[in-house]
Chains A and B, each alone.
Chain A
Amino acid sequence: SQQGEEDPQALSIQEGENATMNCSYKTSINNLQWYRQNSGRGLVHLILIRSNEREKHSGRLRVTLDTSKKSSSLLITASRAADTASYFCATAASGNTPLVFGKGTRLSVIA
């Protein structure tokens, strides 16, 4: 079953704008991760945030986690055409259980 649900399903923005994607989940988690997928093949890990963390940064990425609302957001600042991809959130109930993925947000960045 899919726990994470991303919102919106699709997002189209101009190059240079910021992109915000949201993820909601249902049960308690150990950590939440975001992945990027190009061309429907392998996923690339972007960032991991633990349940006791509220915000994390990596380059142009900013992730927030609100465990009381069971939600997370991924912000990509100053977007580039190369950021065009599908973005998935995934949750882990513990450090040793398989990740449960959402259906993803399709981001299109127009040059």
Chain B
Amino acid sequence: GAGVSQSPSNKVTEKGKDVELRCDPISGHTALYWYRQSLGQGLEFLIYFQGNSAPDKSGLPSDRFSAERTGGSVSTLTIQRTQQEDSAVYLCASSSPGQGDYGYTFGSGTRLTVV
């Protein structure tokens, strides 16, 4: 596609429920990243996929968070047993190898609200 697509745009869920967030990166981009941003804060790294390599999960805050990337394309971030502190905007980005001079292309994010 022309850009990075994320769905849903907004998600309201009850505490304790599981949620799945989807990211469709730019075709041909081998690197995919998940970040989250709490209100008025910077971006917190969550997980990084590069090609067929094992993902870098070092940023996942707890074992309730997991992510997969199928076929080197679409990625799903799953949060189990959601808590109120999980409320944030979850941003996905993709990039081509080595980043070049173009950096990351971000999606518009999913705003997650846990009530």
Contacts and interface: CB of A to CB of B under 8 A. Distances in A.
A48 B101 contact: yes
B45 A45 contact: no
B56 A98 contact: yes
Q: How large is the interface on B (under 10, 10 to 19, 20 to 34, 35 or more residues)?
A: 20 to 34
A42 B41 contact: no
Contacts of B39: 40
B89 A95 contact: no
Contacts of A31: 99
A77 B6 CA distance: 33
A90 to B, nearest CB: 8
A42 B91 contact: yes
B108 A41 contact: yes
A88 B42 contact: yes
Question: Which residue, B35, B39, B44, B99, has most C-beta atoms of chain A within 10 A?
Answer: B99
A92 B104 CA distance: 12
A104 B98 CA distance: 24
Given A40-B37, A96-B98, A101-B35, A45 B108 contact: no
Interface of A: 2, 31, 33, 35, 40-45, 48, 88, 90, 92, 95-104
Interface of B: 4, 31, 33, 35, 37, 39, 41-45, 48, 50, 56, 59, 89, 91, 93, 97-99, 101-109
6 contacts: A40-B37, A41-B108, A43-B93, A48-B99, A90-B43, A98-B59
